[in-house]
Structure 1
Amino acid sequence: MLHLFGGPIGAPEALKVLEQGGKVLDVGCGPGSWIKQVANLYPKCKAFATDFAPTYSPVQVGDAAKVEFQVGDVLKSLPYNDGSFDFVQMRFFTGALKAHEWVPAVKEVYRVVKPGGWVQLIEPDGELRCRNGESADITDWNTRGMRGSLLKRGGDPLAGTRLDKFMAEAGFDSSTIRVDIASVPVDAKAGPLGALMEHDYLALVQTLAPILGPSWGITADEMVNWGKRIVHKCSEHQAFHNFVCAVARKSEKQST
């Protein structure tokens, strides 16, 4: 995902600030792959990362990246003062947030970015699409699988298609909101990116299976096997996922 949108930073306007030592935050950082890359690309920037659990993997010896990690929950209060960062990223929260939690989460990101600073949100759009004919299995997966399971839990599997709306409601300057879409094959035969996406998709199904399986009265193992069958169908029908990157700037006149 780091290379889908021409690099880790989707707002070229923010690059100069990072090159000169600006502060950047990764919300929901996981092991920290994105923030480490940013810290290596812009060694003068001050890099921070947060997640609701201590998921961040310590920097390896010899890695130039220096990242300060703190546990924090975007739905409660991130452990940072108002207007602390020049650039903030939040990505892959579709499986974590309920539908009604999106705007409060983006408002919390809005709080910690500086006036004039930028925010980047990246999410899948929630639907597998086919280039080579229709697939009843993939249609069923779209309806009942990941998407249907998220709906049963009160989530919004199509949140990626509404990122600009969430940003506007959170207070960002609407004239600065930009949306970019990248299509990624879920098929190892389609090349390195397709192989990576296939691997990541199966890993995601395996991670979420204990939560999503019970939604349909099946075990986690049955959910994983269902996902594997779908990935096989993805190759047969040249299926792909769209990912959405939305960036927005906080008005310089707004202080919180």
Structure 2
Amino acid sequence: MQHGVLKRTFGGILVAPVKLGPGDRVLESGTGTGIWLLDLAKGVLTSVELQGIDVSPVPLPREYPSNVKFSIHSITQLPPEWTNTFNLVHQRLLVGSLTLDEWKVALKEMYRVLCPRGWVQLGEHKSWGSGGPASDKWQSLLEEVIRRRGFSLDIAHHLPGFLKDAGFENITLVERSFPMGKWAGKYGEEGRDGFILGFRSMKGLVVGDEESALMHSEAEYDQLMDAVESEWDNSRGLEGIFRIVIAQKSTV
């Protein structure tokens, strides 16, 4: 769902000014089902190698192009033989997967495996508007869930500085907004669902029997999510903002 929303919002899947030719290589970190990588495969030569990595196995399509490869690796520890071999590294929506310290390590690894003058393209949600008290309550819960696990909800704000510290040049921010809620029709519902479905899947991180749990009732959690969805559907003008940061490796 989010892939389609972001593709439409940015007018495509490539923001970095990279031209992929025969023998070039692309690495996608946190590839998941490979939806971004497989979409890219439709528009490049079959001689361009597309490598998707994730920390755990996920369901993949039964068939995919021969130039697409999937493997289990962490972006914080890539194979030594990958040094200076990729023309583009892509990663998005890992706000809840890497701590701030791990982000710094990951960006240094991206820098290492990129060819000189290669590009990195990173995407994370910057913000989403508040539709009312239920939305504000959920925002507070989400911030606490993220904080307890050592992650940063505002990683989009940190990326430019982290990239500079890792040695990258030509750091550029590209931001686009998209509607969220039934008030905006089909596109608004898709923008809403990209968040709400993810939020609903986080129930196990919020609800529990232990004293430290943020909520103790699944029904209460479901009611909160229903209220958030209703607020968004009726908050005309509500938008989410997604930030893509691109940067280039130096010549040396």
Report the aligned-residue RMSD. 2.2
Question: How far did residue 219 of structure 1 move?
Answer: 4.5
SS at match of 2:216: coil
Q: 1:163 aligns with which of 159, 162, 176?
A: 159
Task: Give 1:96's aligned residue.
Answer: 97
Preserved CA contact (<8 Å) 2:183 2:234: no
In the alignment, the residues of structure 2 paired with residue 220 and residue 52 of structure 1 have an alpha-carbon distance, to the nearest angstrom, of 29
**What is the Cα deviation at residue 208 of structure 1?**
2.2
Q: TM-score, normalised by structure 1?
A: 0.85
Q: Percent identity?
A: 24
Shift of residue 235, structure 1, vs aligned partner: 1.6
Does residue 10 of structure 2 align to residue 5 of structure 1? yes
Q: Tell me if structure 2 keeps the 8 A contact 1:2–1:8.
A: yes
Conserved 8 A contact 2:172-2:245: yes
Matched, 1:216 2:214: yes
1:21 Cα shift? 4.0
The change in CA–CA distance for 1:102 and 1:219 in structure 2 (over 3 A counts) is farther
The whole-number CA distance in structure 2 between the counterparts of 1:31 and 1:203 is 16
Whole-angstrom CA distance in 1 between matches of 2:207 and 2:164: 34
Select which of 119, 133, 149 maps to 2:145.
149
Amino acid at match of 2:176: A
- Superposition pairs for residues 80-229 of structure 1, below 5 Å? 81-125=82-126, 127-130=127-130, 135-142=132-139, 144-173=140-169, 176-214=170-208, 215-219=213-217, 222-229=220-227
Question: Where do 1:49-60 residues align within 5 Å?
Answer: 49-55=52-58, 57-60=60-63
Aligned 8 A contact 2:207 2:216 in 1? yes
Query: Structure 2 unaligned runs (5+)?
Result: 1-5
**TM-aligned CA deviation for residue 120 of structure 1:** 0.3
Structure 1 counterpart of 2:45, one-letter code: P
For each residue in 1:76-124, what CA deviation from the matched residue of structure 2 results, as whole angstroms up to 9, or x when unmatched?
Answer: 3357521120001011110111233221121122121111100000000
Matched to 2:202, the amino acid is: L
> Quick one: which amino acid aligns to residue 187 of structure 1?
G
Counterpart Cα distance in 1 of 2:218 and 2:108: 34
Match of 2:39 among 7, 13, 37: 37
Cα shift at 1:164: 1.0
- Shift in CA distance, 78/233, structure 1 to aligned 2, threshold 3 Å: farther
Contact 1:213/1:222, CA 8 A, preserved across alignment: no
Equivalent residues of 2:120, 2:246 under 8 A apart:
yes
Stretches of structure 1 that go unaligned for 5 or more consecutive residues are none
Q: TM (normalized to structure 2)?
A: 0.86
Cα distance in 1 between the residues matched to 2:99 and 2:119: 24
Say how many residue pairs are matched. 241
Secondary structure, counterpart of 1:3 in structure 2: helix
